[in-house]
Amino acid sequence: WRVCITHKAHVSDASAQEVVDLIRLVQPQVVFVELDSARAAQLRNNNNGNAAESSSSSSSSPFDLSNILPNNIISQMMNNANFVRILDAAPALLKRLGWFHTPQGGEMKAALAEADRMGIPCVYGDVEFSQTTRELKKSVMGMALNPAQSLANIPTPPSELTSVFGPLLTGQSDPKEFVEMIKTRERARQVTTYLSRCFPSVYKVMITDRDVHMARMLRDHCSEGKVVAVVGMAHAEGIEREWEELDT
What's the count of helices (H) and strands (E) in the chain, helices before strands? Answer: 14, 4
CA distance 24 to 99: 26
Q: Which residue has the higher pLDDT, 127 or 157?
A: 127
Ramachandran assignment for 225, one of left (phi > 0), alpha (psi -120 to 50 degrees), beta (any other): left
Based on its alpha-carbon atoms, the radius of gyration of the chain, rounded to whole angstroms, reads 18
Q: Are 91 and 178 in contact (CB under 8 A)?
A: no
Stretch (H or E) spanning 189: helix 185-198
Q: Are 122 and 115 in contact (CB under 8 A)?
A: yes
Beta strands in 46-154 (DSSP E): 122-124
pTM of the model: 0.76
Q: Which residue has the higher pLDDT, 170 or 243?
A: 243
Which of 56-60, 92-96, 131-135, 195-199 reaches the highest mean pLDDT?
131-135
Is the pLDDT at 82 greater than 60, yes or no? no
pLDDT in tens, 185-232: 787 788 888 888 888 888 899 899 999 999 999 999 988 899 999 998
Is the pLDDT at 29 greater than 50, yes or no? yes
Q: Which residue has the higher pLDDT, 162 or 33?
A: 33
Least confident of 20-24, 116-120, 147-151, 220-224: 147-151
Is the pLDDT at 60 greater than 50, yes or no? no
